[in-house]
Amino acid sequence: MRAEAVLDARCGLGEGPVWDEREGRLYFVDIMACRVLRWDPATGALERMDTGEPVGAAALREEGGLVCALESGFAVADAFGGRLRRLAAHEGAAPDVRMNDGKCDPAGRFWAGTMAYDFRPGAGALYRLDPDGTVTRMLDGVTISNGLDWTSDGAVMYYIDTPRAAVEAFDFDAGRGTISGRRTVVKIPEGAGLPDGMTLDAEGRIWVALWGGGAVRCYSPEGKLEEVIEVPAPQTTSCCFGGADFGELYITSARGGLSEAALAEAPLSGAVFVARPGVRGRAARRFGRRAGG
């Protein structure tokens, strides 16, 4: 299967797509351009929200607006394009460290991790932001904190620290927001690219975007490769399900750092792509959602 470009966004580092089923719009970020973008597939309208500093991820809020993982910490906006209000810095806030990918858990907490600009091993961490503004450091020794998602029953959290070339799983306690029992469930083979962002479908299968691989791979919960979607952009970054039936897989990509020759071979690098793999996804969890609500 091959994904098709639907929006030539020309992102330097497009990341973190999330579908808003209430609006029928796709949100994503261009990290180093310091922007959250909102795209309406029905009209083709693309809107930009400036964040003033690199933004690793944005998630929807239950009461409307966004929660963002900025370079220096967490912030919220009551509406797209609205003023960002700082909630908290992360413990590792420093000029050479920024926040990266993030997502909300089943109880409405926002998880996002960090990485050093020079990719120093172990310089990052994974944090949990509770709706009351409390920040808790959940993992240390992370190098490039990246994709994460939870099973439908909330019992397992999947997580990617990119240089480990794997998808790892944790037992998840939704009530306390804690993780334990770390183990590897998917090992990405050498030459396939490095795991970046990810999402789960409604059947619990794991869809992983491969940086340097120009593809999204689908794995069973047991780690078996089940499907490959080719993407005409080598720096494939993340994916999410959306559309009216959650049957469309939206895929982000990046063009930053590619040579002129590489861009000539892959001119759609930085675009948003879509594929219909024949399965459905789930609605994104929202920040502030009450457990069981």
3-state SS class at 261: helix
CB within 8 A of 104, min separation 6: which ones? 59, 60, 67, 110, 111, 284, 285, 286, 287, 289
Tokens representing 68? 């963002």
- Residue 277 contacts residue 249 (beta carbons within 8 Å): yes
- Compute the CA torsion angle 143, 166, 192, 239 (nearest 10 deg): -80
267: exposed, middle or buried (Cβ count in 10 Å: 0-12, 13-18, 19+): middle
Number of Cβ within a 10 Å radius of residue 151: 16
- Residue 179 contacts residue 192 (beta carbons within 8 Å): no
Q: 78, 196, 201, 245: which one is catalytic?
A: 196
Closest CA to 97 of 68, 137, 125: 125
196 assigned to active site: yes
Rounded to 5 degrees, what are φ and ψ at 174?
-65, -35
Alpha carbons 128 and 108: distance in angstroms, whole number = 10
| Catalytic sites, residue numbers | 196
